[in-house]
Structure 1
Amino acid sequence: MDIDAGRQVYLPRCNGDVDDDGREKRTGTMWTATAHIITAVIGSGVLSLAWAIAQLGWVAGPLSLVLFAIVTFYTCGLLADCYRVGDPVTGKRNYTYTEAVQAYLGGWHVWFCGFCQYVNMFGTGIGYTITASISAAALKKSNCFHKYGHKADCSQHLSGYIIGFGVVQVIFCQVPNFHKLSWLSVVAAVMSFSYAAIAVGLSLAQTISGPRGKTSLTGTEVGVDIDASQKVWTTFQALGNVAFAYSYSIILIEIQDTLASPPAENKTMRQATLMGISTTTAFYMMCGCLGYAAFGNTANGNILTGFGFYEPYWLVDFANVCIVLHLVGGFQVFCQPLFAAVEGAAVRRYPSLAREHSIVFRLVWRTAFVGLTMLLAVVMPFFNSILGFLGSIAFWPLTVFFPVEMYIRQRQIPKFSTKWVALQSLSFVCFLVTAAACAASIQGVRDALKTYTPFKTKT
């Protein structure tokens, strides 16, 4: 690629209504980018942090949150520097993550990046379906406990709730693109803050009134709570849950593409990343640590479905409604790009789809996609194992590997130099964490399947 020649093409134009590439003028600021980051990061992953810290303990739990935050901030800075090819002010812009990988690495890296992105999007659709269904079931469960007492059998079958969530998604999925659903994204953002704040408030109240479990420096105790092998697996699975809670690199380039320039987008994005990750880490610390303090080593995988959270039942109901509404929008945020990619590829191969059968094709294939996510959610309704798996497969390749490799190529860092070795060491260590978390999540699913009967799972 001739970068110097490219600079002449992408010099800013005089027209105030368009950007340096002729597209509509961008108006984003550090504050809007920070809001996007916080909205993207704070999601259903926050609900599993109390459980994660229960597996890791008071030392490793908070430390893992801080370390993941530091690594995410650093590698997101590297990724932000790859937004433009060549000059950070006048170079050619990359509008998506995959375009950035194509510009700097090319070859098999592009395929691998697309694979990681779309598998993560598909998996997140399954994870969101499971989470929303558990929360919907918790609504009826909490009212049952309130009416009949905590000794009553108020367990609920998940399958019906999963199907109900899928029906809603079939309807929303027929909207051609996510630009037509911006209002849903706004509602989802408000909902995510609401239920996370309720989780923090209820945890604090439970801690003050009297914890329901014992805490320790190392978390769950071998021989008391679990055996030695389970301790190893749940520890790595907890790391996968923490990784999932910080997973937003997949849309960083898209967020950066909303920023006005000057100043250079990478500088603004670094500031926004610092603000966003600092805010979410503080929030995670409160939710995870207070949840652990409230429930100890017996903390539930989804904190809002924990035994002690069915009073005050009306507040728990509101929190679970917020979760369901958030995940209705969250499902679309992650799946609409996948829809666009598949439909774009289909149209390029079969042009008649765009002219004659676009509506029918969209109806059939998107409905089939939602149906598949429903089926897999019914077959594998394992909240923490699924979140751990999603976090592990997204963390190393999308948050660490590609940003590091693109940065090395961009700055032409000599192989085996001190900086090259440091960056590759960071990538290798994160790969080991990802591999361990992925293996632990798969083991968690295997263990759950030993006592699992399809279509009869209760929560």
Structure 2
Amino acid sequence: MAVKHELENSLLLDDDGRTRRTGTLWSCIAHIITAVIGSGVLSLAWSVAQLGWIAGPVAMLCFAIVTYVSVVLLSDCYRYPDPVTGTRNYSYMDAVRVNLGKTQTCLCGLFQYLFMYGICTAYVITTSTSMSAIRRSNCYHEKGHNAPCEYVYTPYMLIFGAVQIVTSQIPDFHSIEWLSVLAAIMSFAYSLIGFGLGLATVIENGMIKGSITGAPAATRAKKLWLVFEALGDIAYAYPYALILFEIQDTLKSPPPENKTMKKASMIALFLTTLFYLLCGCFGYAAFGNSTPGNLLTGLGFYEPYWLIDFANACIVLHLVGGYQLFSQPVFTFVERWSSKKFPNSGFLNNFYSIKLPLLPSFHINIFRICFRTAYVVSTTVIATVFPYFNQVLGLLGALNFWPLAIYFPVEMYFVQNKIEAWTRKWIVLRTFSFVCFLVSIVGLIGSIEGIVSAKSI
């Protein structure tokens, strides 16, 4: 009996004593698509409009390539010191800690959790604009396109916040696989609708709008700021380095997790880049210089109104899952740190079982309820103060792109593979990192200028 019990435990537990992982290539692709295809896809037509017909598509392809390089470097750092047989790193910060030390870990944590918090705030903004767009679409359909159909976003932000307070009680990252699959399906749905509406509008217009240099601006300086902001928006739409380890930690092994992650990333990035190019280019081709900042909520499209309503409903459902994808790592970090810091606190560590009629029993923790509720409330409040879609996305993209997607992966690669200074590989990766740093700086400058300008209006 003891041998049988031990055998059963070995089948249920992983190589580190935790619950055995069950993630596959396809669940990994779903997680990646949920993380990558988010609110950023809606701003890509506007970004192409600022950059023009050549620079816009080229910028998207370049960011896709850079993102895959980042994934290749990072996925090999999931285990240390050997990428196949080494000890698992459960989070980005764990990998930075074993490779780069405590100081770099604190810096990484600051960027990572600040960006995750910012993404959740951006998702509150995006959801409110989509919910408002549904009302406006129906209003324009009933009263005509010139009717005064404007609605404030705040009530919709509060509704989304209330939904997230409930869904944030999902225990951990491993428990949201079903939500990621649903969110990935929704992201494909509204991306296809955006592409379809853009293509239909181009056919209806009988021409392809736009130019090589993009939309004109009042001054050269303003044009430069808009180009910088567009680069920040594209940067926001791609990298998912900050949750790569959480996704990789769901994958069963064998095969080695890094091989599955690289294969899943190649498939997911190919699909997302294809959708990005279709949505961005056909959106710009349809509207030219008047391309809205948000393709589906800027109401460049009016009919068929029911299809636009459905697309915006898909966005809302997708962002319900996307919010959890980026908030669960924050929840896990804070709760584990608090439990370790105060191991004897009942408020932090005690769980209580609750059974409701017609529902399975579930466990609650008072600290979890309080902290996660406060987190959701804070993102909702900040979203009501800064409801600027394109500018917020550009700011977040610029802040995340270089430090998390480039700097730390390159530095960890140097350490783990013992790359010596001034070798060919060292020079190439250093140059690559510096160029990406410049892109982040210009994106950050353009987005800050955009927020200041929008706030002063």
TM-score by length of 1: 0.89
What does residue 31 of structure 2 align with? 36
What does residue 348 of structure 2 align with? 354
3-state SS of 2:301 partner: helix
Aligned amino acid, residue 247 of structure 1: P
CA offset digits 1:387-409 (Å, max 9, x no partner)? 11111111111111111000001
Contact persistence 1:43–1:192 (CA under 8 A): yes
What does residue 86 of structure 2 align with? 91
Cα distance in 1, alignment partners of residues 83 and 145 from structure 2: 60
What does residue 397 of structure 2 align with? 391
What does residue 356 of structure 2 align with? none
CA offset digits 1:323-350 (Å, max 9, x no partner)? 1111122112211221222223233333
Cα distance in 2, alignment partners of residues 308 and 84 from structure 1: 48
From 271, 295, 299, the equivalent of 2:291 is 299
Cα distance in 1, alignment partners of residues 51 and 22 from structure 2: 43
Contact persistence 1:212–1:296 (CA under 8 A): no
Is 2:135 the partner of 1:135?
A: no
Is 2:280 the partner of 1:288?
A: yes
Aligned amino acid, residue 404 of structure 1: V
Is 2:296 the partner of 1:340?
A: no
Is 2:315 the partner of 1:323?
A: yes
From 312, 325, 328, the equivalent of 2:304 is 312
What does residue 361 of structure 2 align with? none
Q: CA deviation at 1:65?
A: 0.6
What does residue 455 of structure 1 align with? none
Q: CA deviation at 1:184?
A: 3.0
What is the aligned residue count? Answer: 435
Cα distance in 1, alignment partners of residues 406 and 134 from structure 2: 38
Unaligned ranges ≥5, structure 1: 1-13, 452-459
Q: CA deviation at 1:27?
A: 4.3
CA offset digits 1:298-328 (Å, max 9, x no partner)? 1111100233312100000011111111112
Cα distance in 1, alignment partners of residues 249 and 271 from structure 2: 22
Contact persistence 2:202–2:285 (CA under 8 A): yes
Contact persistence 2:348–2:367 (CA under 8 A): no
CA offset digits 1:105-136 (Å, max 9, x no partner)? 11211111111111011101110000000000
TM-score by length of 2: 0.90
What does residue 430 of structure 2 align with? 424
Alignment of 1:358-437 (within 5 A): 359-437=365-443
Q: Structure 1 residues 260 and 359, CA, compared in 2 at 3 Å: closer, same or farther? A: closer
Q: CA deviation at 1:236?
A: 0.8
Contact persistence 1:78–1:407 (CA under 8 A): yes
Q: CA deviation at 1:150?
A: 0.3
Cα distance in 2, alignment partners of residues 264 and 449 from structure 1: 49
3-state SS of 2:318 partner: helix
Alignment of 1:146-165 (within 5 A): 146-165=141-160
Contact persistence 1:184–1:329 (CA under 8 A): yes
CA offset digits 1:59-118 (Å, max 9, x no partner)? 100000111111111121011111221333322122221111111111211111111111
What does residue 247 of structure 1 align with? 239
What does residue 188 of structure 2 align with? 193
Mean CA deviation greater in 155-164 or 345-354: 345-354
Q: Structure 1 residues 179 and 25, CA, compared in 2 at 3 Å: closer, same or farther? A: closer
Is 2:211 the partner of 1:216?
A: yes
Contact persistence 1:69–1:281 (CA under 8 A): yes
Cα distance in 1, alignment partners of residues 170 and 119 from structure 2: 20
Contact persistence 2:226–2:446 (CA under 8 A): yes
Q: Structure 1 residues 313 and 442, CA, compared in 2 at 3 Å: closer, same or farther? A: same
Unaligned ranges ≥5, structure 2: 1-8, 352-363
3-state SS of 1:308 partner: coil
Cα distance in 2, alignment partners of residues 340 and 15 from structure 1: 25
What does residue 224 of structure 2 align with? 232
Is 2:266 the partner of 1:274?
A: yes
Cα distance in 2, alignment partners of residues 342 and 386 from structure 1: 25
